[in-house]
A and B are shown apart, each in its own frame.
Chain A
């Protein structure tokens, strides 16, 4: 992967607490343009919180998050401008149930970006085709399977033309047989050069598409490295224990 001079995303010593619980205790890492980063780790280790902090869904206590040169930990932050650059896909899909698949994809570009409806509709059709949901444009989320809903959610995020995509355990709620169709979609995105951060429990997938793996435990990044070395040579006992349990 190319190492550009200025990373698209830079976290430095990020701290986050929920009440008395310190969830992130100084997290730092960089993500370069076009890079695919996977964050793994036990439940409650702060993986999802990292993603939520990056697009300012939750504020951080201290530290710095730079997205494309924009400081997220800034009271004057234009959150909407930030979120136009950062797409996010959730574990529970969170599609808008009162809108069809096509409308779900079209809503934000029309109402947030104020783009021309006709152009947006064309792009929405293309995006649904890209995630292999041709013929499902008029279906409501309730009529789609979990895997299909998740792919609509990916298309919905892509419709905003984000520079960075965050995937928060997107296959955790799916049936094993539908996991694959979602992973195929994400792999294609990664191959096209989309910068992605995945929080995942799919070790095989992380190993296959990740350029860099981060292992978090109790609010810190314990260990990281490229998948080839990470999965084989992880040294920290916590990492080893986690990998032994899961592989």
Chain B
């Protein structure tokens, strides 16, 4: 009997896929960092100076304060960017052609710009204070940086919203229309609630990216964790053996914060995939 080729399993082997980061990998990374710290520690003590671990411990309150600041910037940027992005995304599916065009242009413009450039843009084009009706409101660098991060968040959220809205089957619109729902009612009561589930995973992914990008603010002179790390290093006399542990410390902080978000995203994606 002749075996038809279509019945055979695919000939090409499965493409190579990077293994997913699991908890044990995280533990390995942490262990590796500990080794680096330990090695540096041994060198440090040998020279009769305070041990690296003691040094890290001493600066931990300051460094963590810096990290919390990073998180604050990321949360604020995410909040502002999301509100603006949802509006922009709705603009992209507007029935009015000019609105749709303008929203599309803004989205594409800010989505295809390097984040660091947007950050410079925000830092140097926004004034350092506002005067409204005789009242002067200071506008510190970190707020400007936050706006700088909010811009790409806005653009990416806009695309997430547009994509989610357009992924809702057309029948939902027709059903709502035939029940005499207006367009706005349909959007807010029927379409958008169904979009939330679809938008959540990419939106959380975006948040992780923003959090990690906040260290860029150190480039434009905002005192956040990375700035503090380098200042601490200088304050400790710029010992080269402190470089790896200090920056490793920052890495671990971001890893511990962002990794669970990534896992949660994957879990949510899987959960939502089943129920369609």
Q: Please report the total number of B residues contacting A with Cβ < 8 Å.
A: 18
What CA separation (Å) do A157 and B177 show in the bound complex? Answer: 12
Tell whether, in the assembled complex, residue A112 and residue B194 are in contact, meaning their CB atoms are under 8 Å apart: no
- For the complex, is A160 an interface residue (Cβ under 8 Å from B)? yes
Spot the interface stretch: A15-23, A93-101, A196-204, A209-217: A93-101
What CA separation (Å) do A98 and B182 show in the bound complex? Answer: 19
Give the secondary structure class of B's interface. Answer: helix
Interface string of A70-110 (1 = CB under 8 A from B): 00000000011101101110101011111000000001100
Tell whether, in the assembled complex, residue A156 and residue B179 are in contact, meaning their CB atoms are under 8 Å apart: yes
- For the complex, is A57 an interface residue (Cβ under 8 Å from B)? yes
B176 contacts across to A, CB distance below 8 A: 96
Interface string of B153-196 (1 = CB under 8 A from A): 00000000000000001011011111111100100011001100
* Residue of A84, A90, A95, A142 touching B180 (CB-CB under 8 A): A84
What CA separation (Å) do A57 and B175 show in the bound complex? Answer: 10
Tell whether, in the assembled complex, residue B177 and residue A142 are in contact, meaning their CB atoms are under 8 Å apart: no
Q: Please report the total number of A residues contacting B with Cβ < 8 Å.
A: 26
Tell whether, in the assembled complex, residue A87 and residue B189 are in contact, meaning their CB atoms are under 8 Å apart: no
Interface string of A48-85 (1 = CB under 8 A from B): 00000001010000000000000000000001110110
Tell whether, in the assembled complex, residue B174 and residue A107 are in contact, meaning their CB atoms are under 8 Å apart: no
Provide 10 A-B residue pairs closer than 8 Å at the C-beta atoms, listed in order of the A residue: A83-B177, A94-B172, A96-B172, A111-B181, A111-B189, A112-B180, A112-B181, A142-B275, A153-B175, A156-B179
Which 4 pairs show the lowest CB-CB distances between chains A and B?
A94-B175, A94-B171, A83-B180, A108-B179
Residues of A in contact with B (beta carbons under 8 Å apart): 55, 57, 79-81, 83-84, 86-88, 90, 92, 94-98, 107-108, 111-112, 142, 153, 156-157, 160
